[in-house]
Amino acid sequence: MENLYNTFRIKLSLTPMSYFRSFHDIINWNSRLICIMGQKGVGKSTLMLQHIKQYDNLDETLYVSADNMYFAGHTLYELAGTFFSHGGKRLYIDEIHKYKGWSTEIKNIYDDYPSLQVVYSGSSLLALKQDNKADLSRRSIPYEMPGLSFREFLNIRNGWNLKTSTLEEILQGKVDFPYGEHRPIKYYKEYCRIGFYPFFKEGDAEIRLQNAILANIEDDIPKYAEMTVAAAAKLKKLMYILAKSVPFKPSNETLGRDLSLSRNVVPDYIGYLETSGLFNALRDPGYSDTILGKIEKLYLGNSNIAYSLSEDGIINGGNMRETNFLAWTRQVCKPTSSKISDFEINGITFEVGGKNKKGQQIKEAQSGYLVKDNLEYASGHSIPIWMFGFLY
C-alpha cells in the first residue's frame, strides 16, 4: 500500500486550492457513504482532493483511483480492511466505474466497517446507475456534479466571487455581474466554446473534451451495456447523427433504418447517450422526472460539445441558445417542452431567440418571457440568455 499513499500525497500536493466549486457545499460530507457522479472532466477528482486537503486528517485518510495497478492483485474490500486496521477513517475511491463488481464490495465495506467513511466517484453515470446489483440506494447518498455554470466560469477565469441568482431574481434582471469595463456577452461567447469544463484553464480544452467524448462512446457505454463491437460502432454513428441534427425529435423507425437496428433498440441507445451526459432530453410536462418518458427534443449536453463536434468550428446560434438554457435550468428547475413555445418551467413559458426575436408565441402564455442572446441587460419580458448561467 505504500505506493498508493505516495501517489495520493503527490496528487494532493498538486491540487489547486484557489477556487472551491459551490457544489462542494451541497454534499453532506458527514455521511458514511457518498457517491459523486458526473461527466468526465467536470472536476470530481479535484473536488475530493480539495476537501481532503482542507478538512481531513491525512494520517487517517486515503485517496485511490480504482484503475490503479494495485487492484490487479488486490480487491477494494481487501484495501479497506488493511486501511481500517491501520487506523484509517476516510477512504476516497475515484473512477470506481472502472472496477468490475464495485457495488458489491462497497456494500460489504459499508456493512463490515461501520466506522469507516467511504466517498466514491465515477465518470460514467451509466455505470454508476446501472451497475448497482448490491442495491446501495438505502446506504449511499448520491450527488450528480454538473459542469461549470457561466457564473462559475467567470469566478474561476477572473478570480471573482459572484453569487448565484434564483429564477425569480433572473426574471427581474437581478444578477451579480460587475458591469463597467466588463462585458457579459464577450465572456459568454468564450464560455460557449470552452467554459463548461474546469480544464479550460489548461490550454488544451478542445483536445481533452474530444478525448472524453470518445472515451464515453467507445469505452464506458459499450463496456457497461455489454455491447458487441458492431453495436458499439452503431452507437458511435448514432451519436454523430444526433449531433448533426440537434435539436432533434427522435423517430425510432427512421433511426433504426439508418443504423440497421431494431426500432425497439433505438430508445436504449439514446438512453445510454443521455445518461452519460452527452445529451440532454426535453420531455413533455408529464414525463419530466423519468428517462423513460417521451422525448420531445434531444439537445447536446452543453455548447462545448457542440463546438467540439463541429467540423468547421461554427454552430447554429439557435441551437447553442437552447442547449445552454436547458443545460443550466435543469440543474435547479424542471424544464419541459411547451405546447406554444420552446420551454416551460413552473407554468412560465420561455421563448429562446436572437436579439431581435419578437414575442409572438408568449402572447398566448399566462406568464411568458423572451430569452435572447447578444443582450446585456434585462428589459421588461426580455432576459439575456447569459443570466440563466447564474442559477447555480
pLDDT in tens, 298-307: 999 999 999 9
Average pLDDT, the chain: 93
- Give me the residue spans of the domains in the chain: 2-145, 152-390
User: How high is the pLDDT of residue 269?
Assistant: 94
pLDDT beyond 90 at 127 = no
User: How high is the pLDDT of residue 131?
Assistant: 61
Give mean pLDDT, residues 329-346: 95
User: How high is the pLDDT of residue 140?
Assistant: 86
User: How high is the pLDDT of residue 293?
Assistant: 62
Query: Which range, of 143-147, 280-284, 291-295, 354-358, averages the lowest pLDDT?
Result: 291-295
The number of helices, as runs of H, and strands, as runs of E, in the chain is 15, 12
Cell numbers at 26, concatenated: 451541497
User: How high is the pLDDT of residue 290?
Assistant: 55
pLDDT in tens, 311-327: 877 788 889 999 999 99
Q: Quick check: pTM over 0.85? A: yes
Decide if 351 contacts 368 (C-beta within 8 A).
Answer: yes
pLDDT in tens, 360-389: 778 889 899 999 999 999 999 999 999 999
User: How high is the pLDDT of residue 294?
Assistant: 82
- 31 DSSP 8-state letter: S
| The residue count for the chain | 392
Strands 348-353 and 368-372: parallel
pLDDT beyond 60 at 227 = yes
Residue 195 pLDDT class (50, 70, 90 cuts): very high
pLDDT in tens, 73-89: 999 999 999 999 999 99
Q: Work out the percent of the chain whose per-residue pLDDT is above 70.
A: 96
272/291 Cα distance (integer angstroms): 10
pLDDT beyond 90 at 35 = yes
pLDDT beyond 60 at 288 = no
pLDDT in tens, 228-278: 999 999 999 999 999 988 998 989 999 999 999 999 999 999 999 999 999
Higher pLDDT, 141 or 32: 32
User: How high is the pLDDT of residue 150?
Assistant: 98
Give mean pLDDT, residues 159-164: 97
Decide if 194 contacts 379 (C-beta within 8 A).
Answer: no
Decide if 92 contacts 63 (C-beta within 8 A).
Answer: yes
Q: Position 341: which residue type?
A: S
Classified by CATH at the fold level, domain 2-145 comes out as Rossmann fold (3.40.50)
- E strand map for 103-228: 117-122, 141-145
Decide if 285 contacts 273 (C-beta within 8 A).
Answer: no
User: How high is the pLDDT of residue 133?
Assistant: 61
User: How high is the pLDDT of residue 25?
Assistant: 96
Residue 292 pLDDT class (50, 70, 90 cuts): low
- E strand map for 105-213: 117-122, 141-145
Q: Work out the percent of the chain whose per-residue pLDDT is above 90.
A: 79
User: How high is the pLDDT of residue 126?
Assistant: 65
pLDDT beyond 70 at 4 = yes
